[in-house]
Amino acid sequence: MERIPEKTSAKTTAQGQHTILIVEDEPLMLRLLEKFFSQHGYHVLVASDGAQAIEIHRCYKRRIDAVLLDVRLPKTRGEEVFRRLKEENAVVKVVIASGYLAANIETAMAFAGVKRFVNKPYVLDELLEVFQHVIEND
């Protein structure tokens, strides 16, 4: 895991000043996303299951600008991870990723504070745009 430097201001526009946490249980996809966002100047933290995501967020919550959270995770499901992140940091910016999410669950999660929903399989350029918007505007 990369060591994350302290931030000097609460809001910046340079991608290199932003840190995202990617929570994805598929190892190849996790590495792809980590490499993709790193190449676009983001500091990237990664977790391969829900329990790990909660622990990483607990350690770095003041530095994490946004979270990409898969809802289908081992150990702790995405909905529970989201709830725990919100308990730790009420203003955490979470983007939910799913191949399919029931409308009632999506509605409940949006009401609880999810910033965006993205479909799997990912379109990387669209995912990048979503994170730029969420970090800079939401």
Please choose, from the candidates 43, 64, 39, 40, the residue with its C-alpha nearest in 3D space to the C-alpha of residue 54: 64
CA dist 128 → 4, 13, 56 (Å): 20, 14, 22
Phi, psi of 119 (to 5 degrees): -90, 150
Q: Establish if 104 belongs to a structural domain.
A: yes
Domain assignment present for residue 108? The answer is yes
The pLDDT-based confidence of 16 (bands split at 50, 70, 90) is: low
> Given strand 116-119, what is the order of strands in its sheet?
43-47, 19-23, 66-70, 94-98, 116-119
**Residue 77 domain flag:** yes
- Residue 49 sits in a domain whose CATH number is 3.40.50.2300
Reported as a single tens digit per residue, the pLDDT across 29-55 is 999 999 999 999 999 999 999 999 999
Whether residue 33 lies inside any domain: the answer is yes
Q: How confident is the model at residue 103 (pLDDT cuts 50, 70, 90)?
A: confident
Structural domain count of the chain: 1
Q: Does residue 105 lie in a domain region?
A: yes
Enter the pTM of the model: 0.85
Give residue 102's domain range: 18-137
Q: Count Cα atoms within 13 angstroms, Cβ side, for 123.
A: 7
- Residue 44 burial (CB count, 10 A): 22
